[in-house]
Amino acid sequence: MSAHAYKKKNPIWDWLTTVDHKKIGILYLASGAFFFLIGGLEAILLRVQLLYPEFNFVGAETFNQLLTMHGTTMIFLAAMPLIFGFMNAIIPLQIGARDVAFPFLNSLGFWLFSAGGILLNLGWFMGGAADAGWTGYAPLSTTSPGNGVDFYVLGLQVSGIGTLIGGINFLVTIINMRAPGMTFMRMPLFTWSSFITSGLILFAFPALTIGLALLMFDRLFGTQFFAAEAGGNPIIYEHLFWIFGHPEVYILVLPAFGMFSEIIATFARKRLFGYSAMVFATALIGFLGFMVWVHHMFTVGLGPIANSIFAVATMLIAVPTGVKIFNWLFTMWGGKVSFPTANLFAVGFIPSFVLGGMTGVMLSVPPADYQYHDSYFVVAHFHYVIVGGVVFGLFAGMYYWWPKIFGTMLNEVLGKLHFWLFFIGFHLTFFPMHFLGLMGMPRRVYTYLSGQSLDEANFAATIGAFLMGLATIIMVWNIIQTAVKGKKAGNDPWDGRTLEWAISSPAPEYNFAQTPLVRGLDAWWLEKRASNKAMVPAEPLDDIHMPDASILPFLLSLGFFIASLAAIFANWTIAIGGLGVVALAMILRSVIDYHGYHIHKEDLPDEGGEDK
Amino acid sequence: MQMKRWRNAWRFLPLLSVIALTLTGCGNEQLTTLLPKGEGSEMQFNLMMLSLYIMIGVFVVVALIYTIVLIRFRRRGESDNEIPEQTEGNVVLEILWTVVPIILLLILAVPTVMATFALDEGTEKVPEGATVVKVTAHQYWWEFEYPDLGVKTSQDLYIPTGERVYFELTSKDVLHSFWVPTLGGKMDTNTATVNKMWLNAQEPGTYYGKCAELCGPSHALMDFKVIAQEKEEFDAWAKSMKEAGSKAATDQAAQGEEIFANSCIGCHAVGADGGNTGPNLTNFGDREKVAGILDHTDENIKAWISNPSDYKPGNNMPAFQDQLNDEELNALVAYLNGLKVEE
């Protein structure tokens, strides 16, 4: 604690300028949670509109805005930052590093993301949000009246740059910053999966950037890339979107897989079964993830050859995914499994995700997909994958790492209530949707006529959505309670296996007073089994060099924000001014030397010191 | 004990949903994919079932291991402090759960690829004498043209049963998707390309069609009907459609015909005459629905003409509530209801 004491700062200024990965992690988690609540509220409104046939609650136009913003918000503004939040908060600790490779870029990535997120949602207050679906297919998106889609295009573009920067940062961090002895095949699975996710971000996001740029040109500057009457072709946009969009699914779910691998092993008190198979399965999923995008486009009319090739490629992904499922099951086999909330979410994930995987294989069959495509069957499938996989993972990760991030314990009674309500509500909402799709209900419909046998399942789905909403309120209550009067957590409340549990909760600013020596997989577990009280240090105690805080990432993002907002309203003077702010921030960054500062070894508290 | 009961509660959830769904059956038999009435939908249904059975097999294995794990390998209280053996893995098992799924997927992949090609059969070179329909999607209605028969219609698609009818699909404005669940799968209608598919209805009947690609506020309301008839009946329909034109049986209808000629014909055709930015109304009197969604009553027709956007938000037809008074509306309705080709 004393490390913080001699650098007293204004807290707001501190949060705006921080380059500490742990604080940036908290910023990501807080803003991701905020957008998760907004996206959830949008989902509830959608489900209320569909409570009864021909029900009029929000109307067609608002419904399309809500469905677009629900999808966009949940994928880009909730799931992505929450994943990045955990990557920031945990990975440097797991690999025994003092910070990420590029602390300044890390901060820039966060502020760009939040500038984009706010921009996207400003549409609600400035004439209507985007209404062309989260996929933004042209020509619906290029011809959509008003500015809603402009907010979508520029908001995603700005936050996408942030994501790309974050991905590159974690690639470099994981390659270069591992502690001595932390070889690749000793990395915890969460680090491994985040590493692969970062690689996917690097290759997938540029495709989105191009798609959005072309959309922007069509909308703002009158080009005709996607206008058939001028020789354009909207199918190109579909390809670009899904070349990004399919890997995006794995970008989200692989880190969640990593979290489950850690949580299941920890609470089974067993080493992860088939570690190397898990690593290769993860890499293979990431690799194959780039070769299957056309399965989102089976009905576009690409012909039987393309459809067959992509069908078989898609089926192949089931193999490494199955390998992971069985390895999780056999990690628990022969273990001593306990069920705190974190593990409830991990164990609840398995059957939920298997159902999503089953429908995934079913969807890979093009002739059958001609029926499923764009029906509620697909809605059921991807919610089983994304809620059953990613959201369960994020909740599991929250209960698991909360003590490490904040130093307090979340309430377990409220946690279990949260789990059970959410789990029941989730299945009640999405399980009937499979049948709605098979019975002929297209997705993205703001209403359905009575007399088509669609009433009961829609009613059940809405009740389920209320249950999930209630569960989320309980979670928020739990977080507030814990923030106000949470029980202090020890360094290692779960009898953890990986390096982050070897240091204090929350971790000190410099993470490790001495870089630890890693002597095997599950480094901290090995030391504990050898009756060591701390990691063996790999270096003598010395002054610790820390990076300087900077306001420039915030300013640069603000510049992009101003430029984008002005461009939407075609105010080019202000737009150029905004880009000027961006340029100024970049110049300042280039000419000012950042020397950083040192935390002197005399100031380090005892707990971080050498073994006594 | 209380806790234990709750822990098992989730297992009953799928059961509950299944019960709820058995109560509703397989859905509406004019709409559902689960009671296929077409050659294509039959093939698709069989593949759906094959993949479902394989997947249920996988699920049973997973569920079995899962249940054993949750019962046998729980930690029994805080005092249960024994450290389990730290197993690294098992190569035989890894090979087993890699190879078995590959075999299962091969079993699925072969019929998949065969059916994918079968469903595309003949679309490039349509067999001699087959019925061809050009489908053009509009926000938010469907245009059907039979180039070989010289017939154009909208909203209600007439096809002969017992043969493959070939479709050429395209769109006038944004992307839509042409879907008749009970007869066959869907195919997108694109703006820059023409897509091809076939449907083969095996028994006469009326089937619901839907738009399956988000196309604007009234995407949910872009319904159409497929009316499958025996070949002779279909031929008779096509013949009378070809001969049909504007007709007015009563004085009121004649007044309506005049109003139509002044206010509507720019967009709507009857027979060969009229614009094509709105639906062709040659057999309007035969249709069960107004604008694809409202019951065919005089009140609904008048309400629709007066203010179409109240029923299909964002559609392109202007409101006539200020142009036409009640008498004129009644005349127009009388004229439109007289536009029939079936008796």
Classify A73 in phi/psi space as left (phi over 0), alpha (psi -120 to 50) or beta.
Answer: alpha
Query: Which residues of chain B does A428 touch, with a Cβ-Cβ cutoff of 8 Å?
Result: 13, 16-17
* Closest Cα in chain B, distance from residue A180 (Å): 23
For residue B22, pLDDT over 90 is answered with: no
- Is A514 a residue whose pLDDT tops 60? yes
Which of B83, B89, B186 is the closest to A269 by Cβ?
B83
Q: What percent of chain A has pLDDT over 70?
A: 98
A7 has a pLDDT exceeding 90 = no
Subunit contact B83:A370, Cβ cutoff 8 A: no
Instruction: List the 125-154 stretch of B: residues with Cβ below 8 A of A.
Output: none
Question: CA of B26: how far to CAs of A51, B47, B56, B223, in Å?
Answer: 20, 17, 19, 20
Complex ipTM value: 0.93
Note if the bond before A537 is cis, omega within 30 degrees: no
**Are the C-beta atoms of A76 and A156 separated by less than 8 Å?**
yes
Tell me the mean pLDDT in the region A578-604.
93
Separation CA A150–CA A216 (nearest Å): 7
The secondary structure of B97-123 as a DSSP string is: HHHHHHHHHHHHHHHHHHHHHHTTTTS
Query: In Å, how far is B239's CA from the nearest CA of chain A?
Result: 32
What distances in angstroms separate CA A349 from CA A388, A539, B43, B69, B149, one per listed residue? Answer: 6, 41, 33, 15, 57
pLDDT at A610 over 50: no
Pairing between strand B132-138 and B165-171?
Answer: parallel
**Least confident range of A5-9, A336-340, B35-39:** A5-9
Q: What are phi and psi of B290, to 5 degrees?
A: -95, 130
Q: HEC profile for A293-304?
A: HHHHCHHHCCCH
What 3-state class would DSSP assign to B132? strand
To the nearest whole number, what is the mean pLDDT of chain B?
92
Burial annotation B279-317 (CB, 10 A radius, 16+ → b, else e): bbbbbbebbebbbbbbeeeeebbbbbbbebeebbbbbeb
- What is the mean pLDDT of the segment spanning A28-38? 98
Distance, in angstroms, between A606 CA and closest chain B CA?
30
CB contact under 8 A, B120 and A303: yes
Other C-beta atoms closer than 10 Å to the C-beta of A126 total 15
The pair of three-digit structure tokens given for residue A118, joined into one six-digit string: 């706010």
Asked if B62's CB is within 8 angstroms of A329's CB, the reply is: yes
pLDDT in tens, B165-211: 999 999 999 999 999 999 999 999 999 999 999 999 999 999 999 99
Rounded-to-5 percentages of helix, strand, coil across chain B: 40, 20, 40
Question: Over chain A, what is the mean pLDDT?
Answer: 95
How much of chain A is in helix, strand and coil states, percent to nearest 5? 70, 0, 25
Asked whether the predicted pLDDT for residue B306 surpasses 60, the reply is yes
Q: B184 vs A438: CB contact, 8 Å cut-off?
A: no
User: With an 8 Å Cβ cutoff, is B17 touching chain A?
Assistant: yes
Is residue A326 within 8 angstroms of chain B, CB to CB?
A: yes
Question: Residue A277: is it exposed, middle or buried by C-beta count within 10 angstroms (0-12/13-18/19+)?
Answer: buried
Percent of chain B with pLDDT over 70: 93
Does the pLDDT at position A54 exceed 70?
yes
3-state secondary structure of B187: strand
Contact B330, B251 (CB under 8 A): no
> Which residue, chain included where needed, has tokens 């036409």?
B324
Q: Which of B65, B94, B190 sits opposite A235 (nearest CB)?
A: B190
Q: Would you list the domain boundaries of chain A? A: 11-537+551-609
A444-503 confidence digits (pLDDT tens): 999 999 989 999 999 999 999 999 999 999 999 999 999 999 899 999 999 999 999 999
What's the mean pLDDT in A311-315?
A: 97
Interface of A with B in 387-426 (CB under 8 A): 420, 423-424
Q: Left if phi > 0, otherwise alpha if psi is -120 to 50, otherwise beta: which for A222? A: left
pLDDT of residue B81: 85
Q: In Å, how far is A10's CA from the nearest CA of chain B?
A: 44
Report the amino acid identity of residue A24: I
C-alpha A412/C-alpha A487 separation (Å) is 11
Q: Is A598 helix (H, G, I), strand (E, B) or coil?
A: strand
pLDDT for residue A602 is more than 80: yes
Of B113, B213, B313, which is closest to A374 when you measure between CB atoms? B213
Q: What is the dihedral of CA B152, B154, B158, B159, to 10 degrees?
A: 70
Q: Which residues of A touch B6 (CB under 8 A)?
A: 420
Angle at A315 between CA A311 and CA A321, to 5 degrees: 150
Average pLDDT for A150-179: 97
Q: A143: which chain B residues are within 8 Å (Cβ-Cβ)?
A: 173-174
Is B54–A361 a contact, with Cβ atoms under 8 angstroms apart? yes
pLDDT for position A2? 40
Q: How far apart, in whole angstroms, are the C-alpha atoms of residue A51 and residue A246?
A: 31
Place of tokens 């946690």: A415
pLDDT confidence band for A516 (50 / 70 / 90): very high
pLDDT recorded at residue A606: 64
Cβ of A301 and B26 within 8 Å?
A: no
Q: Is A52 on the interface with B (CB under 8 A)?
A: no
Which residue among A277, A335, A420 places its CB closest to the CB of B84? Answer: A335
Q: Which of B23, B49, B20 lies closest to B34 in space, CA to CA? A: B49
Query: pLDDT digits over B200-246, tens only?
Result: 999 999 999 999 999 999 999 999 999 999 999 999 999 999 999 88
CB contact under 8 A, A371 and B51: no
Average pLDDT over residues A353-363: 97
pLDDT higher than threshold 80 for residue A608: no
pLDDT digit string (tens) for A405-451?
999 999 999 999 999 999 999 999 999 999 999 999 999 999 999 98
| CATH of region A11-537+551-609 | 1.20.210.10
Give the integer Cα–Cα distance in Å for B70 and B79: 19
pTM of the model as a whole: 0.94
Rounded to a whole number of angstroms, the distance from the CA of A355 to the nearest CA of chain B is 8
Q: Provide mean pLDDT across the span A103-114.
A: 97
* Mean pLDDT of the B116-144 span: 95
- The tokens describing B42, both together, are 């039959």
The pLDDT score that the predictor gives to residue B2 is 47
Q: How far apart are CA A362 and CA B224, in angstroms?
A: 28
Most confident of the ranges A544-553, A602-611, B23-32: A544-553
pLDDT at B1: 43
The alpha carbons of chain B give a radius of gyration, in whole angstroms, of 28
Query: What is residue A5's predicted lDDT score, i.e. its pLDDT?
Result: 44
Is residue A474 a contact partner of residue A414, using CB atoms and an 8 Å limit? yes
Q: In the structure, what pLDDT confidence band is assigned to residue B79 with cuts at 50, 70 and 90?
A: confident
Residue B12 confidence class, pLDDT cut points 50, 70, 90: low
Is the pLDDT score of A9 beyond 80? no
Nearest CA in chain A to B114: A308
Inter-chain contact A336–B73, Cβ cutoff 8 Å?
Answer: yes
